[in-house]
Amino acid sequence: MARRLFFFFAKFETMGVSITFLGGVDTVTGSKYLVRHEGHSLLVDCGLFQGYKQLRLRNRTPLPIAPHDINAVVLTHAHLDHSGYLPLLAKEGFTGHVYGSTGTQDLCKILLPDSGHIQEEDAAFANRHGFSKHSPALPLYTRQDALDCLPLIRKVAWGTTFQPIKGWRVTLTPAGHILGASSVLLEVAGRRILFSGDLGRPDDLLMNPPDNAPTADTVLIESTYGDRTHPTENIVAELAPALQRLVKRRGVAVVPVFAVGRAQALIHAIGLLKDRGEIPHSLHVYLDSPMAVHTTHLFEHHQGEHRLTPQESWALTHHATMVTSPDDSRALDARRGPMVILAASGMATGGRVLHHLAHHAGNKRNMIILTGFQAPGTRGAILASGAQSVRIHGQDVAVNAEVVQLQSASAHADSGQLLNWLRTMRQAPEQVYVVHGEMQASDALRTRIQRELGWRALVPEQGSTWPC
């Protein structure tokens, strides 16, 4: 092993291609991977940190490289933990191009302005009610900042090789997970570096499976579920008994959802249950998120990227009442159950779902349905832990509602599926970096890669620099 390490690092010193991990290590948020060679810099993903306050504070810490010194950005997909730092990067001086798939560009046009708007709303609410330690509380960036960065984004078709920097070749391939999600193959100075991005499940309810992994010298593999295996039960079967209990007691289910992917999967699953007669057609479903509403309509425009038929894509916008205005959102809390309110955000970190949780969490007839992974430090994780109260807008809110955590709703590949994706490579890489996971999950996947595949793998630390 020592001999292999010597030659590996000797090659690095000769070629000088390096990667600095600026996020997406020791955590599932804040993904930023800076590749450097001969004075040029490419940032793969540009995500926000979410969850614990210590992580969120990193969003306000300047990067170790000036934004104007970054030549280009490539996005694996549009989720905010991969794209949500872009408005701030541009605000602070980045003027290069941002590259992503067509679906990623379309979603960024929805997600980034909404993110800025929510941050402005949260800051204004904190200032009105005086619960922020800062006076005044300021948003990380505004909706206008987000709109200003959108012209930088260039769409690239899957399978098309392009040069974000002269001599640097990049190819995007489908990764499943959400609309537009891609794996990124970077070729520079004779090295092939593969970024898995967030990999979808081969048996996902909505999305097509990821393409096979291309051959590479270095691989960055996500590990969100690196220590777990998904249950064999699907989301439709798991959701049915929860909604049946809800209907019986005429309660209200508040469902924190990611506006992209998870919201649409829940709407589709509820529609299937109604069509099968397992829950009544009279169960009202509301999608309370302008961002999720706009995203839902995109499924009809990206027909080849997912499993839904044109009729099923059309039905997504008709199985739920679309709520966009703040007044209509507030009016929902005056309605009686049984009903289901789907609202962003997926880990209950902000947005309209907080108002619904504050209103409904105290009633034991009601239900809070958590879908998929809840990052430590988020309200979703606090609710999943069985806490008797949760802090919302500076107030402790009692949790008497039934909390249901769906185990089958994740849009991420599990440990075995991640290994199977790696096995599709035609030859073993020289190095695997395990990223985008909590420490336990990342280290578990690292161990499996070493033991089952016999490949060299390690979990990098935040801010560390390694050879490619």
- At a CB cut-off of 8 Å and minimum separation 6, what does 131 contact? 393, 394
The mean per-residue pLDDT over the stretch 234-250 comes to: 96
- Which fold does the domain 235-406 belong to in CATH? Rossmann fold (3.40.50)
- How is residue 414 annotated by DSSP? B
Which residue type occupies 163? Q
Question: What are 343's two structure tokens?
Answer: 């609202």
Element spanning 236, H or E = helix 235-249
SS3 320: coil
Q: How much is the pTM?
A: 0.89
CB count in 10 Å sphere of residue 132: 15
Q: What tens digit of pLDDT does each residue of 40-87 get? A: 999 999 999 988 888 989 999 999 999 999 999 999 999 999 999 999
- Judged against a pLDDT cut of 50, whether residue 452 lies above it is answered with yes
Residue 124, CA distances (Å) to 46, 129, 131, 225, 440 in order:
26, 9, 11, 36, 37
Which residue type occupies 395? Q
> Where are the chain's structural domains?
2-228+411-467, 235-406
Q: What tens digit of pLDDT does each residue of 117-144 get? A: 888 987 887 788 776 666 788 899 999 9
- CA 146, distance to chain mean position in Å, is 18
**Pairing of the two strands 182-188 and 168-174:** antiparallel
Domains 2-228+411-467 and 235-406 share a fold: no
- How is residue 152 annotated by DSSP? G
Question: How many CA atoms are closer than 13 Å to the CA of 79, on its beta-carbon side?
Answer: 30
Question: What are 400's two structure tokens?
Answer: 């008497």
Q: What tens digit of pLDDT does each residue of 420-437 get? A: 999 999 999 999 999 999
Element spanning 23, H or E = strand 18-23
SS3 6: helix
Rounded Cα gap, residues 309 and 23, in angstroms = 37
- Which fold does the domain 2-228+411-467 belong to in CATH? Metallo-beta-lactamase; Chain A (3.60.15)
Label residue 331 exposed, middle or buried (CB < 10 Å: 0-12, 13-18, 19+). Answer: exposed
